[in-house]
């Protein structure tokens, strides 16, 4: 399904279905025009799924917020609830050992690490906050740039163009080609 409708629509579908079933109101703030590699979309989708399940199972919150944005070359997804918050032991374990205290966070971390990303858990004044940050790797940007630019990559850059980073080595580009479609 992700393949066909993309992450933005899939996230909306997931959030709407979750809200219906759980009666937890969830707001979703996400760009409509996200173009992400398939593996990254799948990772974000699974993390959102697990995170929402956690909100339902553990938080006691009647509302949650999901925000997805691209910031400084990374995709950042946050899930926040207004429930009882993460137990201190869970936060502590998460910080110190890196070892998961439950299957869920462990699985999430593994997936995200595979994409050179990070998973953060925070305890705001009320509730819990989960944040996933995954850098949009150079080769992904490169794929997007080269598909939209008429001139070959690495030719004289226009004044001050930040696209000059496109002249860096393109190892791995071939495996991301489908991203640029």
In the complex, the residues that contact Mg ion under the rule CB under 5 A are 54, 104
Out of Mg ion, ligand ADP, none, what residue 59 binds, judged by CB under 5 to 8 A for its kind, is ligand ADP
- Considering only residues 52 to 71 of the shown chain, the ones binding ligand ADP according to CB under 6 A are 54-55, 57-59
| Cβ 136 vs Cβ 148: under 8 Å | no
Establish if 103 lies at the interface with ligand ADP (CB under 6 A): yes
Half-sphere exposure of 93 (CA within 13 A, CB side): 11
Element spanning 122, H or E: strand 118-122
Establish if 135 lies at the interface with ligand ADP (CB under 6 A): no
Q: CB nearer to Mg ion: give 41 or 50.
A: 50
Q: Which stretch binds ligand ADP (CB under 6 A): 27-35, 37-45, 86-94, 133-141?
A: 86-94
Q: Which residues contact 114 (CB under 8 A, 6 or more apart)?
A: 39, 43
Tokens of residue 97, six digits: 């050992």
Angstrom distance (rounded) from CA 58 to CA 37: 31
Where along the sequence are the contacts to ligand ADP (CB under 6 A)? Answer: 54-55, 57-59, 81, 83-87, 90, 100-105, 128
């Amino acid at each position: 399904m992700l393949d066909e409708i993309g992450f933005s629509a899939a996230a909306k579908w997931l959030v709407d279905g979750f809200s219906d079933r759980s009666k937890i109101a969830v707001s979703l703030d996400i760009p409509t025009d996200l173009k992400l590699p398939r593996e990254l979309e799948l990772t974000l989708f699974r993390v959102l799924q697990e995170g929402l399940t956690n909100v339902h199972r553990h938080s006691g919150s009647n509302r949650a917020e999901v925000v997805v944005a691209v910031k400084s070359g990374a995709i950042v997804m946050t899930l926040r609830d207004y429930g009882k918050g993460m137990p201190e032991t869970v936060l502590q374990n998460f910080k110190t050992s890196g070892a998961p205290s439950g299957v869920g966070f462990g699985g999430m971390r593994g997936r995200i690490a595979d994409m050179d990303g990070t998973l953060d858990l925070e305890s705001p004044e009320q509730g819990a906050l989960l944040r996933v940050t995954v850098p949009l790797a150079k080769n992904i940007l490169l794929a997007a740039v080269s598909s939209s630019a008429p001139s070959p990559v690495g030719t004289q850059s226009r004044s001050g163009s930040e696209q000059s980073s496109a002249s860096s080595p393109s190892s791995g580009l071939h495996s991301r080609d489908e991203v640029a479609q």
